[in-house]
C-alpha cells in the first residue's frame, strides 16, 4: 500500500481549536477525492493518496503523455507505476500547499499555528533507491560518474541538474587545478633564486622605520628574508599567465556547461518546457475556476527594497571596517607583547587572527542575510514561487558576496596604500596606525587570508554539514519509539500496521525545506567566486576546490539518501538564475584578477623598473639581472627628526651605525615627502595594464563564447526532426 504524502500532527484535545482546524483541512482533501489513512502513535500520522484522475487531468491540460515518467520506468526497470512517480509527488505537494479551508487558511498557515507539525513524501523501498544507495551515496565511488538519469527519476530534474552541474564543474576544475599546481610548483623552484628576494636577504645595512609607535625598534630589511622569498614564490610572471588562463577557463566552463545542459534536457524531452505553463496547469488541477495572478510592478516598493538592500550592504561593509580595526589594534598589542614570537611576527599573527574573525563573521552573517533576504522578498510580493526564488537568489548572493569578499577587497586593494607615511600616518581614533605592507608587497597577506578562509570553509563547514544532520537523526531515532498498546492477560498481540514503521522511519529523518538545494548551490557558487576572482593571489584555490567537490558530491548524496527526508521533486530544464550569477562572477573574475596584478602584485613596479630605471637601461649592462637595484629604488628615505611628536622614537640597536635616516616602502621625495616621478610612471603603467588586461581578457571571453555554440548541432538537428515529424 503506497501513499503520496504523510502529514504529522500532535494529538490535540477533542473539540479544541487545533483539532477543528485539522479536521476542516482533511475534509477539504476528501472533497477533492483524496484517500486518507490515520495512524496514531506518539504523534498522529495521516497518509494522503490522491485520486488517479488528478494525474489524468495533468496529462490532458498539457496535451502530452508523461514521457518523463515513462522513460524513467522503461529504461531502468523500476517497478513503480506512474501513479507513484516523482511527478505525482510534485502535483500532490502543490495541491496540499494550495488547498484552502473554509477559514481561508492554507497548510502553511496551519503549520505556523502548530495544527500540523510537518509533511513529507516517503522514501520508497524500491530498486531505484537501493541502486542509488549502493552506487551513488557511497564514499568508494568518489571518482566514479554519477547516475544522473536515476537521480532524476527519484529526486526530479532540479536535483539532477544540480548534480550534473556540480559534476561538470568538478571535472573541468581538474584542469584548472593542474595548471594552478604547476604555477605554484614553478614558484617554489624560484624560492631562492629571485633577484628581488636576494636583495632583501642581503640588505644588511638597510635600516627600516619602526612598524609601530611604541616599543618598536628600527629593523634591518634582511630580517624579513624568508617572508620575501614566500612573497616572490607567489608573485611572479606565472601569476599573470594563470590569471589570464582562469579568465578564459571560466568562460569555457560556462559555454561547455550550456552545451552539456542542452544535451541532457533534450534527452529528457524538456528543452522547450515552459515553467509558467506548468504552474498554470497545477493551479487548474487544484481549482478549475482559478484565475491567473496578473503581472504587477510597484516602483515605490522596488525603491524601498533597493534602499534596504543598500542598507544591509552598508552594514556588511561596516563589519569589514570593524575587522580592519581589530587587525590594527591586534598588531599594536602584539608588537608590545613580551613574547618574542608575537613581538617579531605581530603583522603575520594579526593577519591570521583577522582571517579567523572573518570566517566567524561569514558564519554569523549568513544567517542574518537569509532573514533579511526573505523579508525583502515578502515586501516585493512576487507573483509566483519561481519568481520569488529568483529574487531571493539575487539578494542572498549579493549579501553573501559582500560578506565573503569585503575583507579580501580591503587587503587586496587598500592595505598599505591608505596608511600615510612616517611623520604623517593615518590613524584610527587618532591613536592606532593603519597597517603597512611588507617591502616585498601585500600579496602574501591576501594569500594567507584566502588560504585560511577556504580551508576553514572546506573543513569545518563540511564536517558540520554532515555531522549535525547525523547527530540530529540519531537523537530523533533514540527519542522516538513506536507506542505499543498494553496487553490484557491471554490477549493475542495484534500485527503492527505495515505503514507505521515506514512512516516513523521517514519522520525520524531530518526535515528538508525549499532552501535545502538552494543552500548547496549557494555554497558552490561562493566557492566558484573564491576559485576565480582572486585566484592570481592564491593559485592553489582550484586544487582545494577540486578535492572539496569530490567529497561534497558524495556528502550531499549521503545526506539526501540516508539522513534527510525525501525532497519534493521539482521540474526544471536549467539551473535558473544561477547561470546569470556565474556569468557575472566570470566578469568580476577578469576585473578582480586584473586589479590584483595591477595593484596588489609588484609585477608592474618591477617591469617599470626593468625597462626604465634598471642598469640594463641606464648603463647598457647586459651581464646583470635587470631587476638588480629594484628594492633600493622602491624604498624612500625618511629623516628621523621628522617623526610626529606623539611618536616615541626608539633607541638604536647597539650594532647599528648611528644614523639619522630610515627607509620605508613608497615612492616619495626625501625633502618634502611628495610623490616622485617614479610613482606617477608606475601609476600610469598600472592603469594601462589594467585596461589592457581587462579588454584582452573580455575579448577572449567573447570570442570563446561565440566560438563554442550554446547548443550542439546534434541537439538542434534532433529538435528539428521532432518538429518535422509532428507537423507530418
Model pLDDT for residues 694-705, shown as the tens digit of each residue:
898 888 888 888
Cα 671 to Cα 409: distance, rounded to the nearest angstrom: 33
The answer to whether the beta carbons of residues 361 and 319 sit under 8 Å apart is yes
**pLDDT per residue as tens digits for the range 140-187:** 888 889 999 999 989 989 999 999 999 999 999 999 999 999 999 988
Instruction: Judge whether 31 lies within some domain.
Output: yes
Instruction: Judge whether 116 lies within some domain.
Output: yes
| pLDDT, average across residues 585-589 | 90
User: How many domains does the structure of the chain reveal?
Assistant: 1
Cell of 10: 500532535
Query: What range does the domain containing 99 cover?
Result: 5-122
Q: How confident is the model at residue 73 (pLDDT cuts 50, 70, 90)?
A: very low
**pLDDT per residue as tens digits for the range 555-575:** 999 999 989 999 998 888 899
The answer to whether the beta carbons of residues 245 and 179 sit under 8 Å apart is yes
DSSP helix/strand/coil, 352? helix
Question: Strand 661-665 to strand 635-639: parallel, antiparallel, or no bridges (unpaired)?
Answer: antiparallel
Cα 523 to Cα 460: distance, rounded to the nearest angstrom: 13
**pLDDT per residue as tens digits for the range 213-267:** 777 778 888 888 888 888 888 888 888 889 889 888 988 899 999 999 999 999 8
**pLDDT per residue as tens digits for the range 371-409:** 999 999 888 888 778 888 889 999 999 999 999 898 888
Give the contacts of 689 (CB within 8 A, at least 6 positions apart).
594, 597, 598, 604
Instruction: Judge whether 97 lies within some domain.
Output: yes
Lowest mean per-residue pLDDT among 512-521, 530-539, 551-560, 581-590: 512-521
Instruction: Judge whether 39 lies within some domain.
Output: yes
Instruction: Judge whether 564 lies within some domain.
Output: no
Q: Report the percent of the chain where pLDDT is more than 70.
A: 93
Alpha helices in 426-497 (DSSP H): 443-479
Instruction: Judge whether 67 lies within some domain.
Output: yes
Q: Name the residue with higher pLDDT: 495 or 69.
A: 495
Burial code (b: 16+ CB inside 10 Å, e: under 16) for 452-478 equals bbbebbbeeeeeebeeebeeebeeeee
**Listed ranges 308-312, 489-493, 575-579; the one with the highest mean pLDDT:** 308-312
Give the contacts of 195 (CB within 8 A, at least 6 positions apart).
625, 627, 628, 630
Cα separation of the two ends of the chain: 44
Cα-Cα-Cα-Cα dihedral of 339, 342, 346, 352, to 10°?
-160
- Residues facing residue 425 across a β-bridge: 420
Q: What is the pTM for the complete model shown?
A: 0.86
Q: How confident is the model at residue 23 (pLDDT cuts 50, 70, 90)?
A: very high
The answer to whether the beta carbons of residues 229 and 197 sit under 8 Å apart is yes
Q: Among candidates 333, 337, 338, 330, which has minimal Cα distance to 357? A: 330
The answer to whether the beta carbons of residues 354 and 326 sit under 8 Å apart is yes
Question: Strand 432-433 to strand 427-428: parallel, antiparallel, or no bridges (unpaired)?
Answer: antiparallel
HEC per residue, 36-52: EEEEECCCEEEEEECCH
Instruction: Judge whether 25 lies within some domain.
Output: yes
- Residue 64 pLDDT exceeds 90: no
DSSP helix/strand/coil, 656? coil
Cell of 624: 646583470
Cell of 720: 528539428
- Sign of the torsion angle spanned by Cα atoms 563, 568, 574, 579: negative
- Phi and psi angles of residue 440, each rounded to the nearest 5 degrees, phi first: -95, 5
Instruction: Judge whether 522 lies within some domain.
Output: no
Amino acid at each position: 500500500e503506497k501513499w503520496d504524502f504523510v502529514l504529522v500532527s500532535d494529538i490535540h484535545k477533542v473539540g479544541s481549536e487545533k483539532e477543528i482546524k485539522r479536521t476542516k483541512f482533511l475534509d477539504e482533501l476528501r472533497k477533492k477525492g483524496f484517500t486518507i489513512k490515520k495512524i496514531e502513535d506518539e504523534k498522529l500520522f495521516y497518509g494522503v493518496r490522491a485520486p488517479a484522475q488528478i494525474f489524468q487531468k495533468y496529462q490532458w491540460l498539457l496535451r502530452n503523455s508523461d514521457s518523463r515518467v515513462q522513460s524513467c520506468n522503461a529504461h531502468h526497470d523500476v517497478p513503480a507505476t506512474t501513479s507513484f512517480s516523482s511527478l505525482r509527488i510534485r502535483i500532490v505537494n502543490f495541491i496540499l500547499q494550495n488547498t484552502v479551508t473554509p477559514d481561508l487558511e492554507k497548510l502553511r498557515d496551519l503549520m505556523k499555528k502548530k495544527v500540523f507539525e510537518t509533511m513529507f513524501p516517503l522514501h520508497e523501498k524500491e530498486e531505484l533507491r537501493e541502486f542509488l544507495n549502493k552506487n551513488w551515496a557511497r564514499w568508494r565511488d568518489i571518482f566514479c560518474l554519477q547516475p544522473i538519469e536515476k537521480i532524476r527519476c527519484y529526486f526530479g530534474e532540479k536535483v539532477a541538474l544540480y548534480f550534473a552541474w556540480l559534476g561538470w564543474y568538478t571535472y573541468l576544475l581538474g584542469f584548472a587545478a593542474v595548471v594552478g599546481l604547476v604555477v605554484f610548483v614553478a614558484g617554489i623552484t624560484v624560492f631562492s633564486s629571485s633577484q628581488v628576494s636576494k636583495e632583501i636577504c642581503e640588505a644588511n645595512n638597510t635600516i627600516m622605520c619602526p612598524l609601530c609607535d611604541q616599543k618598536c625598534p628600527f629593523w634591518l630589511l634582511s630580517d624579513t628574508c624568508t617572508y620575501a622569498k614566500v612573497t616572490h614564490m607567489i608573485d611572479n610572471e606565472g601569476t599573470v599567465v594563470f590569471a589570464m588562463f582562469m579568465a578564459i577557463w571560466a568562460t569555457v566552463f560556462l559555454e561547455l556547461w550550456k552545451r552539456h545542459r542542452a544535451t541532457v534536457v533534450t534527452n529528457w524531452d524538456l528543452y522547450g518546457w515552459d515553467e509558467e505553463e506548468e504552474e498554470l496547469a497545477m493551479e487548474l488541477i487544484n481549482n478549475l475556476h482559478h484565475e491567473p495572478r496578473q503581472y504587477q510592478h510597484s516602483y515605490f516598493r522596488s525603491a524601498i527594497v533597493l534602499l534596504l538592500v543598500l542598507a544591509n550592504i552598508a552594514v556588511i561593509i561596516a563589519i569589514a571596517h570593524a575587522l580592519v580595526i581589530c587587525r590594527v589594534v591586534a598588531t599594536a598589542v602584539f608588537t608590545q607583547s613580551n613574547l618574542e614570537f608575537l613581538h617579531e611576527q605581530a603583522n603575520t599573527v594579526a593577519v591570521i587572527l583577522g582571517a579567523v574573525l572573518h570566517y566567524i563573521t561569514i558564519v554569523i552573517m549568513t544567517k542574518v542575510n537569509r532573514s533579511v533576504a526573505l523579508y525583502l522578498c515578502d515586501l516585493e510580493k512576487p507573483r509566483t514561487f519561481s519568481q520569488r526564488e529568483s529574487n531571493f537568489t539575487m539578494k542572498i548572493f549579493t549579501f553573501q558576496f559582500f560578506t565573503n569578499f569585503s575583507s579580501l577587497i580591503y587587503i587586496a586593494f587598500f592595505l598599505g596604500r591608505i596608511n600615510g607615511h612616517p611623520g604623517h600616518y593615518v590613524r584610527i581614533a587618532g591613536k592606532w596606525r593603519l597597517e603597512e605592507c611588507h617591502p616585498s608587497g601585500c600579496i602574501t597577506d591576501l594569500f594567507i587570508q584566502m588560504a585560511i578562509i577556504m580551508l576553514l570553509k572546506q573543513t569545518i563547514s563540511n564536517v558540520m554539514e554532515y555531522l549535525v544532520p547525523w547527530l540530529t537523526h540519531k537523537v530523533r531515532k533514540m527519542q522516538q519509539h513506536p507506542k505499543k498498546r498494553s496487553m490484557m492477560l491471554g490477549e493475542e498481540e495484534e500485527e503492527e500496521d505495515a505503514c507505521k514503521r515506514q512512516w516513523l522511519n521517514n519522520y525520524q529523518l531530518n526535515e528538508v525545506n525549499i532552501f535545502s538545494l538552494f543552500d548547496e548551490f549557494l555554497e558552490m557558487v561562493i566557492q566558484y567566486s573564491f576559485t576565480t576572482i582572486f585566484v592570481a593571489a592564491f593559485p592553489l584555490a582550484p586544487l582545494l576546490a577540486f578535492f572539496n567537490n569530490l567529497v561534497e558530491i558524495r556528502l550531499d548524496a549521503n545526506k539526501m539518501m540516508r539522513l534527510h527526508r525525501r525532497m519534493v521533486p521539482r521540474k526544471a530544464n536549467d539551473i535558473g538564475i544561477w547561470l546569470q550569477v556565474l556569468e557575472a562572477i566570470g566578469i568580476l573574475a577578469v576585473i578582480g584578477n586584473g586589479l590584483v596584478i595591477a595593484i596588489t602584485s609588484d609585477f608592474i613596479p618591477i617591469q617599470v623598473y626593468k625597462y626604465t630605471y634598471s642598469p640594463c637601461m641606464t648603463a647598457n649592462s647586459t651581464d646583470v639581472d635587470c631587476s638588480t637595484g629594484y628594492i633600493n629604488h622602491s624604498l624612500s628615505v625618511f629623516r628621523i627628526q621628522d617623526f610626529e611628536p606623539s611618536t616615541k622614537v626608539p633607541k638604536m640597536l647597539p650594532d647599528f651605525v648611528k644614523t639619522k635616516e630610515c627607509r620605508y616602502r613608497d615612492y616619495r621625495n626625501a625633502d618634502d615627502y611628495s610623490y616622485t616621478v617614479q610613482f606617477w610612471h608606475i601609476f600610469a603603467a598600472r592603469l594601462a595594464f589594467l585596461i589592457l588586461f581587462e579588454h584582452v581578457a573580455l575579448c577572449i571571453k567573447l570570442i570563446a563564447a561565440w566560438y563554442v555554440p550554446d547548443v550542439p548541432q546534434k541537439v538542434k538537428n534532433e529538435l528539428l526532426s521532432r518538429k518535422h515529424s509532428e507537423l507530418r
